[in-house]
Amino acid sequence: MTDFNSIFPNFVNQCVQLKRFLMPVAFVMLAGGMISPIIARAQTIEWERFADQSPARVIRAISERCAKAVGEAHNEIQEQILEQRMTRRMLNRQAMSNGV
pLDDT, one tens digit for every residue, the chain (100 residues): 678 888 888 888 999 999 999 998 888 888 878 777 877 787 787 777 777 777 777 777 777 877 787 777 777 888 888 888 888 888 888 888 886 5
Residue 30 lies in a domain: yes
For residues 88 and 8, what is the distance between their CA atoms, to the nearest angstrom? 71
Query: Would you say 58 and 50 are in contact if contact means Cβ atoms under 8 Å apart?
Result: yes
Neighbours of 59 (CB within 10 A): 10
In single-letter form, the type of residue at position 78 comes to Q
- Tally the domains of the chain: 2
Task: Please state the length of the chain.
Answer: 100
Same domain, 67 and 89: yes
Same domain, 44 and 86: no
Enclosing H/E stretch for 25: helix 11-49
Q: What is the pLDDT of residue 1?
A: 66
Q: What is the pLDDT of residue 17?
A: 92
Residue 90 lies in a domain: yes
Same domain, 58 and 99: yes
Radius of gyration of the chain (CA): 31
For residues 82 and 80, what is the distance between their CA atoms, to the nearest angstrom? 5
